[in-house]
Structure 1
Amino acid sequence: METNNQNLKLFIVDDDSFCSNVYQQYLKNHHYEDITSFSCGEDCLDELYQKPDIIFLDHNMEDLNGFEVLKKIKRFDPNIYVIMVSGQENIDTAVNALKYGAFDYLTKNINVCEKMVKTIEKILKIKEEMSQGKLKGFRKFFSMIF
């Protein structure tokens, strides 16, 4: 199935440049071309006007922690898909990430790159269904809650 990977704009936010480079290379090998990496949350926030579709956000960073960045991204544009990536497998962190609007929570382990690609595929499926109007009820449901 031909997906529109080329149209997706991805941000990777991680203060560990080794991790950042590994993610970027893996995603490029899966034909995701439009990837920008940031080593801190502030830089990412300054570039939100570029309208990224998906942001992979490290939870534990020096300048602003991932939750602070996540909240600011969601305030800027609630439609950006943010995936929190964390070095530790902590259920409270995962629950809070989702509470603050993250689409998913991934643990940095041997399969993290694979999980990133699977998550992007999930998001592409959702975007496609929304564009075809299949999730109208889903949207209506949310507007009734808020």
Structure 2
Amino acid sequence: MENTHNLKLFIVDDDQFCSSMYERYLKNHHYSDITIFSNGTECLNALYLKPDIIFLDHNMEDINGFEVLKKIKRYDPNIYVIMVSAQQSIDTAVDTLKYGTFDYLVKGNEVCEKMKETIEKIVSIRQEMNQNKFKTIRRFFSFLF
């Protein structure tokens, strides 16, 4: 079983207050491997660190969240990206999902709790995928022997 607290998390937000609040909340819930970036370019330059999950602000000054998302997915399509935005537009949320985000969270009073819940969903999915992979391998070898 995967240890959820060993996940490598990136928080990308040009609002220092928001990124600090997210980091503090997640650290209080025992997620310790968190790296904060104040812009998309810094995040893209650090993808070699192999993050498991990236919380990505939609509206940033240097490069917008859509562009960062596209580049992340080209680099590694298996990185879970969650777009975090103040925009409540359905069209924006749908567009981010089309480009490969796992989820779209609206900034507000409950965003930190939703971030934690999203991490838990991702962990659950990864565990299920690993179990299915093991079952498939076992079935394959049972045919051979």
| TM-score, normalisation: structure 1 | 0.89
Q: CA RMSD in A?
A: 1.8
1:17 maps to what in 2? 16
Long gaps (5+) in structure 2: 137-145
> In the TM superposition, what is the alpha-carbon distance from 1:47 to its structure 2 partner?
0.2
Rate the CA distance shift 1:130–1:101 in 2: closer, same or farther, 3 A.
Answer: same
List structure 1 segments (4+ residues) > 2 angstroms apart after TM superposition.
134-137
> Partners of 2:99 and 2:78 in 1: how far apart?
13
The number of equivalent residue pairs is: 136
- SS across alignment from 1:132: helix
Cα gap change, 1:136/1:103 in structure 2, threshold over 3 Å: closer, same or farther? farther
Task: Give the Cα–Cα distance (whole angstroms) in 2 for the partners of residues 7 and 118 of structure 1.
Answer: 16
* Residue aligning to 1:126: 125
Greater radius of gyration (CA)? 2
Taking the aligned partners of 1:6 and 1:111, their CA distance within structure 2 comes to 21
DSSP-derived class of the 2:14 partner? coil
Aligned to 2:34: 35
In structure 2, distance between residues paired with 1:34 and 1:19: 18
Q: Identity, % of aligned pairs?
A: 71
TM-score (norm 2): 0.90
Q: 1:3 to 1:30 in 2, by over 3 A?
A: farther
Aligned counterparts, 1:1-146, within 5 A: 4-133=3-132
